Amino acid sequence: MSFNYPQFLWALTALAIPIIIHLFNFRRTTRIFFSNTRFLKQVKQETTQKRKLKRYLILASRLLFLCFLVLAFAQPFLPAREHLTSQRNLTIYLDNSYSMSAPVQEKIRGLDAATTYVQEIVELFPAETRFKLLTNDFAPFSNSFKSKSEIVDQLSQIKFSSTARTAAEVIKRINDSNSTVFWISDFQQSTFGEPLVLDSTWQIRLVPVTFNTTSNVYVDSVYLANPFIIGGEKNSIQVRLRNSGPKTIEGLVSRLTINGVQAATSSVTIQPNSSVETAFDLSGSLRGNNKALFTFSDFPVSFDNEFYFTLNYAGRLRIIELKSQPTLTYVEQVYGNKQLFDFKSYTTANVDYSAFADANLVVINGINQIDQTLGAALQQYLNNQGVMLVFPGTEPEVQSYRNLFALPTLTRVAGASRMVLDKPDFRNPFFENIFEERTTAVSMPAAQKTWEWGMDRSAILSFQNGQPFLSKINNTYIAASSLTPEATDFATHALFVPVMYRVAATGNRQDRKPYHYLSSGLVTVNADSLAGDEPVRMVGEQELVPAQRKTGNKVLLELPRYTVSPGYYYVTHQRDTLDLVAFNIEKQESELTAFSDTEAQAAFGNSQVMVFDADSPQAFSNEIKARYLGTPLWKYALVLALVFLLAEVLLIRFLK
């Protein structure tokens, strides 16, 4: 025990005063005459014993009163168990991610409780202490130590951050090993990252914000049933919902809104710690860029009850046909819809090789031989992940095609007879959403093989004898016969159009993601031609000019994570809209399972890491005082002094 004012202990010499009064009773004796003294001696002895006991008790009460009164003025305290490093500088990390919106008590959010803990720290430490307040935004104000008043002003401006930080990112940002760090967080397992190995000079003090046990539903993923979508085709949206809690969620009502208009609703029941899928059919009339919003009502955790995504239908697909003669072909007819396709046809004598770079699909139609120049251009196109469809000529030179496809099993077939194609395999994803009714009672076209390449059990279309008619080998679709009427009636069959459309759709290399997470470092946007030096902008709730670089026909945008918020952003250049992108909070933020105190301490991997009791602000305040400021005892001393003063009064008044 120590004293703030030890000089007051000299006053303990005053304890001699009641002792002197007790030893030297200066009261004058009074002589009393008795008529009968037979029993006087016995009565006198009994009275003297009681009187001595009373005087001793009163003396003890007086001594203890004076002793504790002197100690109260000396202000005793128990010394602090810990001391600050780095000359009374404190670093405070406040986790303000969206997971901190979960309730810790009724109507009290985790961030509100964490802010209260920061206020307790700031108020309890001496005025000369300097503080550095760090949040998930990694804002510039956290670069230096500040006074109490500055920290209080910053606390009033703290709001939820859409950025989740791992423990390693926070440690790297603090970048000061010789520092005492108060780490106030919910210690989510999903966002903590890899276990840390810290230097022994780190003084980490963990302040866990503990939530009530609750279930939380969030969107795990959203995807199109047919990712290779062309405008006008039927499609559906698949939404996977996950329940990350111990309670069953029954009858959860969800809604799909497209461009501000409710499109569909659904109701699902989700078992504890499991997921379920729900589907919504899409209208075939959607065109261009569309804002889609999936919402549901899940309380008390509601920060992830909205999920933003886009339905961006590709512009016209670029189709190039290479043919031997300048005549109208079936390929030109099927891709003649100018709203969907930008079609160009070249003969082998007049090919624009530069057009290959932007093509979604190159169709080789009826060419017997691939010369060296054309072969090199097509090989480069395939190396750039281009998609090619090949219908051979009536007398193909097989070796040139072998070199192009790297397909040594390709051989010429002479004098083959026509064979009917087998029914499509409806389980093949290629035919998803093509047939309204999956029935085997459908007539199929016939074809005469021009070449073959062996058996292919995964062929898209096959003859009835099992040999392939249309196969996909890497990025190349290869047909077994030419499209001439003499070779096949496939081009005039009802199956021809959907197959050709689906092949064209697989060549859509624009790679438009329906949504991005805020943790995405880069967003890729297609841009055919950007004139001038004006940068690409992102326009949403605010207008941003991200760091960017152009690569070929794409623009790579580096996201400013602390600025972008969940929602939609139009990517614009001058007056043109290049794309519509949607951003959401990382789904890991919705997994509220947290480390226990022991697990959190072990995750930091350092014996200098200690955990504070943060069940309530009062408990946290008491522990802060005990650890860093010591435990003051003067109040207890004053109370005891008053107790013994009262005891003295009661002894004098009632003890006869």
Q: 């046909």: which residue's tokens? A: 321
Confidence (pLDDT) at 528: 66
Q: Give buried/exposed letters for 55-84 (b at 16+ CB in 10 A, else e).
A: eebbbebbbbbbbbbbbbbbbbbeebeeeb
H-helix or E-strand spanning residue 56: helix 40-74
- The reported pTM is 0.69
pLDDT tens per residue, range 50-79: 777 888 888 888 888 888 888 888 888 676
d(CA 124, CA 80) in angstroms, rounded, equals 13
Confidence (pLDDT) at 448: 94
- CA-wise closest residue to 624 among 72, 198, 126, 86: 126
Confidence (pLDDT) at 232: 56
User: Would you say 208 and 611 are in contact if contact means Cβ atoms under 8 Å apart?
Assistant: yes
A 10 A CB-CB count for 428 gives 13
Confidence (pLDDT) at 346: 95
- Omega prior to 300 cis, within 30 of 0: yes
User: Would you say 211 and 186 are in contact if contact means Cβ atoms under 8 Å apart?
Assistant: yes
- CA-wise closest residue to 444 among 420, 409, 463, 473: 420
Distances (CA, A) of 537 to 127, 523, 553, 634: 46, 12, 17, 64
In whole angstroms, what separates CA 447 from the centre of its chain?
Answer: 54
The proportion of the chain whose per-residue pLDDT surpasses 90, expressed as a percent, equals 39
What counts of helices (H) and strands (E) characterise the chain?
13, 36
User: Would you say 280 and 263 are in contact if contact means Cβ atoms under 8 Å apart?
Assistant: yes
- CA-wise closest residue to 425 among 411, 440, 446: 440
| Strand residue runs (E) in 494-553 | 516-517, 522-526, 537-539, 543-544, 547-551
Strand ranges of the sheet holding 180-185, from the earlier edge strand across to the other edge: 130-135, 89-94, 180-185, 203-208, 610-611
Which alpha helices (DSSP H) does 443-577 contain, by range? 496-506
Q: Supply the mean pLDDT for the chain.
A: 85
Confidence (pLDDT) at 333: 93
**Which segments in the chain show pLDDT lower than 70?**
4, 25-30, 32-48, 77, 79-87, 177-178, 226-234, 284, 314-315, 432-441, 509-512, 528-529, 552-553, 606-607, 614, 629-630, 656
- Sorted by sequence, the CB contacts under 8 Å of residue 291 that are 6+ apart come out as 258, 259, 260, 308, 310, 568, 580, 582
Q: 């350092």: which residue's tokens? A: 606
A 10 A CB-CB count for 550 gives 11
Confidence (pLDDT) at 86: 47
Q: 């009858």: which residue's tokens? A: 251
Helix axes 372-383, 398-405, angle to 10 degrees: 30
